[in-house]
Amino acid sequence: MSAAVALAPATLDAILHRMSLPLWVVDALKVGDTIPLLGATVGSVRLFAPDGVLVAEARLGQSGGKRAVRIQPAPEAMMRDLPAPEARAVAKAS
């Protein structure tokens, strides 16, 4: 069964950037036109399942001369400082 599952097709959408454009701008696009992707980087690719669930983060690259994405580990959680406890709460704990 694991061999059958390993060979089953899977669909993912790789999204580099989402943006909204007026219809007239899209309608006027021609071959060779460029669309600036403000804030998008090679490391800002997100892979989504067909139901819209984020599956992984990836990096844009090449493999064998073709476009490819490399799945990268999720960023580590950033630690934040907690507010200092009130003096009364510290005195009660002692």
* Count: domains in the chain: 1
Task: Flag whether 80 is in a domain.
Answer: no
User: Domain span at residue 59?
Assistant: 11-74
Task: Flag whether 87 is in a domain.
Answer: no
CATH assignment at residue 48: 2.30.330.10
Global pTM? 0.60
Q: How far apart are CA 30 and CA 27, in angstroms?
A: 9
- Over the stretch 9-57, which tens digit does the pLDDT of each residue have? 889 999 988 888 899 999 999 999 998 888 888 888 999 999 999 999 9
Task: Flag whether 88 is in a domain.
Answer: no
Q: How far apart are CA 47 and CA 76, in angstroms?
A: 18
Task: Flag whether 85 is in a domain.
Answer: no
Supply the pLDDT for residue 72: 85
Task: Flag whether 63 is in a domain.
Answer: yes
Task: Flag whether 54 is in a domain.
Answer: yes
- Sheet holding 45-48: strands in order across? 13-15, 45-48, 54-63, 66-72
Task: Flag whether 51 is in a domain.
Answer: yes
